[in-house]
Amino acid sequence: MRKNAVLPKIIGKKITKRRQYLDLTQEELAEKVGVSRAYMGFIEQSRNVPSLETLEKIAKALRVRTSELL
Instruction: List the domains of the chain with CATH numbers.
Output: 7-69 (1.10.260.40)
State the pTM of this model: 0.91
- What is the predicted pLDDT for the residue at 4? 61
Instruction: Lowest mean pLDDT of 2-11, 17-26, 30-39, 53-62, name the range.
Output: 2-11
pLDDT score of 5 more than 60: yes
Q: How many CA atoms lie within 13 A of 12 on its CB side?
A: 16
CA distance 19 to 14: 8
Backbone torsions φ then ψ of 65, nearest 5 degrees: -75, 150
pLDDT score of 1 more than 60: no
Mean pLDDT of 6-30: 96
Please name the residues in contact with 67: beta carbons below 8 A apart, sequence gap of 6 or more: none
Helices (H), the chain: 7-21, 26-33, 37-44, 52-62
Mean pLDDT of 41-64: 96
Q: Of residues 1 and 69, which shows the higher confidence score?
A: 69
